Chain A
Amino acid sequence: MDFLQPSTWDDALAAKAAHPDAVPIAGGTDVMVELNFDRRRPPALLDLTRVAPLTEWGTDGDMLRVGAGVSYRRIIEELGSKLPGLAMASRTVGSPQIRNRGTVGGNLGSASPAGDAHPPLLASGALVELASVRGTRRVPVDAFFLGPKRSVLEPDELIAAFLVRPGGVEQFAKVGTRNAMVIAVCSFALSLSREARRVGTGIGSAAPTPIRALEAEEFLAASLDWEARGPVPPSVARRFGELVAAAAAPIDDVRGTAAYRSHALSVLARRTLAWAWKGMA
């Protein structure tokens, strides 16, 4: 097995083009588990931890552009107020040791339906920036995932960054058997933008890919009293919960049943709505 260790972004893209079957490694919290257990034996690893631009974040027009290699710990510490939903989700990832190393780029790269970064990225309408020696493209995150652990990432491409328009009131909630070190049984993220009167949602661990609940978004955007911000009628909250649950396509597995996931999602949707609406005041 080769170990490729580029120190610039251009070298990283050239290496991926020359070795499309090399497996990128960032925090290693998914890749190393597969190597340690002999589930994967790639011809080469492509270490991205020396590529400085991947660990930087800054503004890009009216968006925030966050390098794929920024760790969960730094998202929590440095971007907690700018990207509150993603920071909340990051706090639930693994343990301190995992958050010190694990990255959002790695979460996207693994494309697990249970990846905790995905629901808040979906809710806030994030773009994923993909790059190769052929050029750069920005894909809406809801078009990034193709199936369980599959995405539109091409063999010669790397994930450069994700972009989010900050300013939404955001919430995230996750169901698991305990607080720490838990893969979501299901999770839900909500983003409310008063200026745009936009509602964004993201569902985790309840369909072959992370998904948005489009009908629920439209219903809620049309039903909320954005101007006076009066209380959300219980009937609206209930219907929103039902539409979120209806958008999911859960299965029975070791972590929970489909019926439980649907029920839990409707509860999480109502709860996050109540929290977020309060946060608008």
Chain B
Amino acid sequence: MRLNCTVNGEPRQADDVWAGESLLYVLRERLGLPGSKNACEQGECGSCTVYMDGTPVCACLVAAGQAEGRDVVTVEGLADGPVQQAFLAAGAVQCGFCTPGLVVAVHDLLARDSAPTDPEIREALAGNLCRCTGYEKILDAVRIAAAS
């Protein structure tokens, strides 16, 4: 089937999409946007987090056809801003596999709440796993981004 949706502000089209494939697969394999990572394909790790109609979702759990006509924003579509800078400044990136999903989740958190408390940060990032950093530097990055 053919899929039409807006990705990072531009109308995009993908052909020969299989009905059972995920939005994550479409983004990475058909639209050349490998920023969103595929780590678990079961909603557990958050590394595929994208905005769909303004709401953060796991792209691996959205059926491609469900994105028809929707507005999708991936990590590639977020302007380089305080969140990414804070991740660099805090040393919150090691292997970097979790980073795109975390950047989207933190972007969403700070858009809703510019001064989140530590428990609010932890709750907002509960769906994003990182196997390298131990999270402390990630929490630092969120605090830095919030303050800047």
Interface residues of A (CB under 8 A from B): 1-3, 5, 25, 27-29, 31-33, 35-37, 41, 44-45, 47, 49, 94-98, 100-101, 179-181
Residues of chain B whose beta carbon lies under 8 Å from any beta carbon of chain A: 1, 18-20, 22, 41-44, 46, 49, 55-58, 60-63, 65-66, 68, 105, 123-124, 126-128
CB pair B19–A1 under 8 Å, yes or no, is: yes
One of A3, A29, A98, A180 near B65 (C-beta < 8 A): A3
Cα–Cα distance between A16 and B6 once the two chains are bound (Å) = 29
Count A-B contacts at CB 8 Å.
89
Contact of A41 with B57 at beta-carbon distance under 8 Å, contacts A47-B63, A98-B43 already known: no
Chain A residues whose CB sits within 8 angstroms of the CB of B124 once the complex forms: 96
Q: Is the CB of A100 within 8 A of B56?
A: yes
Q: 7 tightest CB-CB pairs across the interface, nearest first?
A: A95-B127, A180-B126, A3-B19, A36-B41, A1-B19, A3-B65, A32-B61
In the complex, are the beta carbons of A32 and B46 less than 8 A apart? no
- A101 / chain B contacts, CB cutoff of 8 Å: 57-58, 61-62
CB atoms of B61 and A27 under 8 A apart? yes
- Given contact pairs A44-B19, A96-B124, A98-B61, enumerate 17 new A-B contacts (beta carbons under 8 Å): A5-B68, A28-B66, A29-B61, A31-B63, A32-B43, A32-B61, A32-B63, A36-B22, A36-B60, A94-B43, A95-B43, A96-B126, A97-B43, A97-B57, A101-B57, A180-B127, A181-B126
Q: In the complex the two chains form, is A33's CB within 8 Å of B61's CB?
A: yes
A1 to B22, CA, bound (A): 13
The dominant DSSP class at the A interface is mixed
How distant is the Cα of A37 from the Cα of B42 in the complex, in angstroms? 8
The verdict on A1 contacting B18 (CB below 8 Å), with A28-B66, A97-B127 known, is yes
- Let me know if A25 and B66 touch, CB within 8 A: yes
Interface pair B60/A32, CB less than 8 Å apart: yes
Output the nearest chain B residue to A180 by Cβ-Cβ distance: B126
Q: Which residues of A contact B68 (CB under 8 A)?
A: 5
Cβ–Cβ contact B126 & A32, under 8 A: no
B41 touches A97 (CB 8 A): no
